[in-house]
Copies of this chain bind each other. A is one copy, B any other.
Amino acid sequence: MASPPVARAQTEEAFLDAAERLLVEVGYAGITTRRLAEEAGANHGLVHYYFGSMENLLARVLERFTERMIERQRAMYATEIPFLEKWRTAMLYLAADREYQKIWWELQALAWNRPELQATVAHVNEEWRSVLTEAFAEARERYGLEMPLDALVSLVITFNEGIILERLAGIETGHAELLEWIDGWLEGKEALWRRRKR
């Protein structure tokens, strides 16, 4: 066994990991101290000892997840690759990361009824927004888009959210058509820009 402080930190992580798995499996309403402890392979009393309450534990899950999301979003758009490639990478993530999205939206649904969690959710949204704002400022200029930047970013964020949420409910109608059209449209804009540059 490792020395206590390390072991404790590991067990705490095990609880948070287990909570994420249960969010995917059964949603936030299905998480109880005992089930969580079983999933984490730890004693159910520790939930109270470590975190004080399930509520606090879920708040910790939200915070940890939040940090990871922001890191990922920054990494995706911050690299020095052309906008079109960034977009395509983002759309690949959108298609692939179902579990990740389930966790995120379960936490959001939880926050609908826990106002004290909404600030954390809003923080992620702002981060995402600022990352996208930077990326789309470039794209907007390059492609000569007439839409104000604020509006453009909101449109992109919200339709992404909508796609994720429809998919959580098992709905995929029209998604492929929409994403394909956007891709082709961007490609056309990109080609136009290249021609104009020469």
A-to-B contact residues, CB < 8 Å = 26-30, 102, 105-106, 108-109, 111-113, 115, 118, 121-122, 125-126, 129, 147-148, 150-151, 153-155, 157-163, 165-166, 168-171, 173-175, 177-178, 180-182
Contacts A154-B178, A155-B159, A174-B153 given: A125-B166 contact, CB under 8 Å?
A: yes
Give Cα distance in the complex from A121 to B165, angstroms: 12
**Contact across chains for B178 and A155 when beta carbons are under 8 A apart:** yes
Once the chains are docked, how many angstroms separate the CA of A122 from the CA of B173?
10
Nearest B residue (CB) for A31:
B29
- In the bound complex, how far is the Cα of B162 from the Cα of A102, in angstroms? 15
Q: Given that A162-B158, A162-B160 are contacting pairs, would A151 and B173 also be in contact in the complex, using a CB cutoff of 8 Å?
A: no
A-B contact pairs, 7 of them (CB 8 A): A29-B29, A118-B170, A151-B178, A154-B178, A157-B166, A159-B162, A165-B165
Copies in the complex: 2
Q: Which of A160, A171, A180 has the largest number of chain B CB atoms within 10 A?
A: A171
For A175, the chain B residues whose CB sits under 8 A away are: 154
Distance in Å: Cβ of A143 to nearest Cβ of chain B: 15
* A111 adjacent to B147 (CB under 8 Å): no
- Is A112 a contact partner of B161 (Cβ separation < 8 A)? no
Excluding A108-B165, A159-B159, 4 further A-B contacts by CB distance (< 8 Å) are A125-B169, A154-B173, A157-B166, A159-B162
- B115, B129, B150: the one contacting A177 at CB < 8 Å is B150
Say yes or no: A171 contacts B125, CB within 8 Å: yes
Closest to A165 in B: B161
Check B109 against A27 for contact (C-beta < 8 Å). Answer: yes
Query: What CA separation (Å) do A122 and B151 show in the bound complex?
Result: 29
- Look across to chain B and name the residue whose beta carbon is closest to the beta carbon of A107: B169
For the complex, give the distance between the alpha carbons of A190 and B104 in Å: 40
The listed residue (B102, B111, B125, B155) touching A112 by CB distance below 8 A is B102
Nearest CB on B from A69, distance (A): 14
